[in-house]
Amino acid sequence: MQSVDINKKIWLSSPHMGDMEQVYVKEAFDTNWVAPIGPNITAFEKAIAHSLEENVHVAALSSGTAALHLGLQLLGVKRGDLVICQSFTFSASANPIMYLGATPVFVDSEKDTWNLSPDLLNSAIADSIKNGKKPKAIIAVHLYGMPYKIKEVRAIADKFGIPILEDSAEALGSSYMEKRCGTFGDIGILSFNGNKIITTSGGGALVSKNPDYINKAVFLATQARDEAPHYQHSHVGYNYRMSNILAGIGRGQMLVLEDRVMARRRNYEIYRKELDDVTGIEFLSEPSGFYSNRWLSCVLTPSFTIREKIRLALLEENIESRPLWKPLHLQPVFENFPKFINGTSEDLFSRGLCLPSGSNLTQYDLNCVIEKIKTMF
């Protein structure tokens, strides 16, 4: 019989290694490619491009945040510019706007995907133009792995001629109308942080169908060295390239990506099956043609008070859960920037809870979570 450690912590989303990660890392040591250059990086980029399919090019970087920072620069964002950003997201979506001295304009979500509201996006752009400044870019996010309304957002972006920076940090393995998330923006970004669907411990990537963007991203990420026998620079560069060691982990993780997506989707289905008829617990369904990797399984409870009761009861059992993202327009660091708000993200934040969602959770783990929640009702 399998023994069960009853004191074990059940995490929200913890790393889940496969069989090959250490083989590729050892290969890097054996061949002495212990550097931010080497065969694991090339192979990892190829594997990502292959899984995204849509003829994309990939630059592996040190983090998703670095990818967003470079992405905004490649789209021409400069000091004083406006950048539209989904408000319901992690702060890393918006921080790079600040690095560049640009101004974020926060836009609230719609209820079908919890992502960028096309109506409010349209108002935010029209209003900015009326005030004399057309936004330079739109940061749209596939939050928790659920694709945003890609057709509607793209139509608005094209109408105004504004490029999209697609924050796909949480959506590797998700798709929309059979096409993979990460391929819909003028530039897309991925994250391989420790809590994401696959991880390199820390890491990210910039993705684009336009190879010029990828070449420029690699140039800027490796200290912007001009071609010369000495070190010659005509641009300010960054040290944002991924290490060949970490890319070895990434290569191994790409081999199990589809398994990890299936496992996370199964978590969601089990929670939904067991908790759907519990009064007041709601789940976010996939609209037709939307396919979510279900990075985190989220529930909406009837109220803030009940949400907190559940969270604290789970914590008592050593089970980690977390409120949904606090909207950026409510964050002290961002609260004084322009915003176009409809109340959706504030409601989600007050009632919503992310349940343990790792691809390494056992049926026993899931049962612990489910049973505890059921006793609350």
Ligand X SMILES: *Cc1c(COP(=O)(O)O)cnc(C)c1O
* Residues lying near ligand X in the complex (CB under 6 A): 63-65, 89-90, 92-93, 141, 167, 169-170, 191, 193, 204
Q: Which is nearer to ligand X, 63 or 292 (CB)?
A: 63
Q: Which is nearer to ligand X, 144 or 268 (CB)?
A: 144
Q: How far is the CB of 178 from ligand X (least distance, A)?
A: 23
Q: Which is nearer to ligand X, 27 or 108 (CB)?
A: 108
- N- to C-terminal Cα separation, the chain: 33
C-alpha span between 106 and 117 (Å, rounded): 11
Q: List the strands of the sheet with 187-191, edge to edge.
A: 57-61, 204-208, 187-191, 164-167, 137-141, 82-86, 103-107, 339-340
Q: How far is the CB of 336 from ligand X (least distance, A)?
A: 22
Q: Are 224 and 237 in contact (CB under 8 A)?
A: yes
Q: How far is the CB of 190 from ligand X (least distance, A)?
A: 8
Q: How far is the CB of 201 from ligand X (least distance, A)?
A: 10
Burial code (b: 16+ CB inside 10 Å, e: under 16) for 137-176 equals bbbbbbbbbbbbbbebbbebbeeeebbbbbbbbbbbbbbb
Give φ, ψ of 82 to 5 degrees: -100, 140
Q: How far is the CB of 102 from ligand X (least distance, A)?
A: 17
Q: How far is the CB of 100 from ligand X (least distance, A)?
A: 16
Q: Which of 79, 77, 36 is nearest to 238 (CA)?
A: 36
Q: Which is nearer to ligand X, 43 or 354 (CB)?
A: 354
Find the residue with minimal CB distance to ligand X: 64
Q: Which is nearer to ligand X, 40 or 191 (CB)?
A: 191
Q: Which is nearer to ligand X, 14 or 123 (CB)?
A: 14
Could you tell me which residues are beta bridge partners of residue 189?
A: 167, 206
